[in-house]
Amino acid sequence: MRTPWFIVLVACCVLCVAPLRASAEVSVAGGAYVSNPPSLAGGAVLVSSAASIPVIPIELQGTVLVPISKQGGYAVTAEVRGLSGGGFGGAYVGAGFGVGNLSVDKSTGVAATVFVGKPVGPRITVELRAYRGIQSNGTTAGFLGFRFTL
């Protein structure tokens, strides 16, 4: 059973308009997407909303991934992103879990992600992500793109 696109669209809208603390940020990313199996290459869009925890250098964020391909699919994840400073020039790493239909038969199940990013300009970051559908027929997918913080 395929999840209707309007559900993914509603999830994106909720992330964008949800009440967040003043330090919250919304960002949109676009880039290349590959998965296996089934072997698939195309584009993808990410929408994220993050809120920092000032006492410790981490951010909590929610992210929606929508591949733009014939296969389609989605992943909605809650993530922790570690902020680094000093000699790393603002680079960050993170991981998260959620739900998605990143699977061969498009069944919905648990999705996991790990990611790294590095700022390349004001409010622009290059981000590399790996996704895995945890269910028995889950897909491994990768994303490489540019994140624009609004």
Domains observed in the chain: 5-149 (2.40.160.20)
Q: 82: helix, coil or strand?
A: strand
**How open is the CA angle 86-48-39, to the nearest 5 degrees?**
100
Query: Using one digit for the tens of pLDDT, what is the confidence trace for 114-131?
Result: 999 999 988 899 999 999
What confidence tier does 88 reach under pLDDT thresholds 50, 70, 90? Answer: low
Question: Strand 25-36 vs strand 40-53: parallel, antiparallel, or unpaired?
Answer: antiparallel
Asked if 134 and 30 count as a contact pair (C-beta separation under 8 A), the reply is no
What confidence tier does 87 reach under pLDDT thresholds 50, 70, 90? Answer: low
Q: Residue 18: pLDDT above 70? A: no
Query: What pLDDT does residue 79 have?
Result: 96
Query: What pLDDT does residue 11 have?
Result: 53
In sequence order, the 6+-apart residues with CB closer than 8 A to the CB of 66 are 8, 12, 44, 45, 46, 72, 73, 74
**What is the average pLDDT score of the chain?**
82
Q: Residue 145: pLDDT above 90? A: yes
